């Protein structure tokens, strides 16, 4: 029974991962690893997903819906295919902004240990995520 549940989770995650363009670069072995590692989650509109100042041990990929990032200057909206929560994961610093669900949102979360796994199996994707974190930290708000 446990095996069957695991199999269903795998199939469902597989479908969700297809909504994130970043993962399309992965080869089949790395893709299987990431599909196993990601945890799906549905968040209702208005709910806070991560709060500025909190410790962050996971990052999130948006499958469907939109989130609002309350940055210092003005709020930024991120939609399907985008990700957030990578800054705390990479720097080890507290969350830089509060992120809340602008609509009901379907997410896939990736924990720090699994991010390390992704970094070694796909340095290219890890590099893209790192670059985005640096751009968001320094420059103006962006997707």
User: Which CB, 100 or 122, lies closer to ligand CMP?
Assistant: 100
Closest CA to 53 of 87, 23, 91, 95: 95
Residues 61-86 as b/e (b if ≥16 CB within 10 A, e otherwise) read bbbebbbbbebeeeebebeeebbbbb
User: Which CB, 40 or 141, lies closer to ligand CMP?
Assistant: 141
User: Which CB, 71 or 103, lies closer to ligand CMP?
Assistant: 71
C-beta of 86: minimal distance to ligand CMP in Å? 5
Q: Which residues bind ligand CMP (CB under 6 A)?
A: 50, 56, 69, 71, 76, 84-88, 95-97, 99, 136, 141-142
User: Which CB, 16 or 90, lies closer to ligand CMP?
Assistant: 90
C-alpha to C-alpha distance for 115 and 73, rounded to whole angstroms: 29
C-beta of 28: minimal distance to ligand CMP in Å? 28
C-beta of 57: minimal distance to ligand CMP in Å? 10
C-beta of 109: minimal distance to ligand CMP in Å? 12
What's the full length of the chain, in residues? 143
CA R_g for the chain:
15
CB 102 within 8 A of CB 85: no
């Amino acid at each position: 029974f446990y095996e069957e549940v695991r199999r269903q989770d795998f199939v469902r995650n597989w479908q969700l991962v297809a909504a994130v363009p970043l993962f399309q670069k992965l080869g089949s072995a790395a893709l299987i690893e990431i599909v196993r590692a990601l945890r799906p989650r549905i968040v209702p509109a208005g709910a806070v997903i991560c709060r500025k100042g909190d410790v962050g041990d996971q990052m999130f990929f948006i499958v469907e819906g939109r989130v609002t990032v309350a940055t210092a200057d003005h709020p930024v909206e991120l939609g399907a295919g985008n990700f957030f929560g990578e800054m705390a994961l990479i720097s080890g610093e507290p969350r830089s902004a509060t992120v809340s669900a602008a609509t009901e949102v379907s997410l896939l979360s990736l924990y720090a240990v699994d991010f390390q796994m992704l970094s070694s199996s796909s340095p290219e994707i890890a590099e893209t995520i790192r670059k985005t974190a640096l751009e968001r930290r320094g420059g103006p708000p962006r997707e």
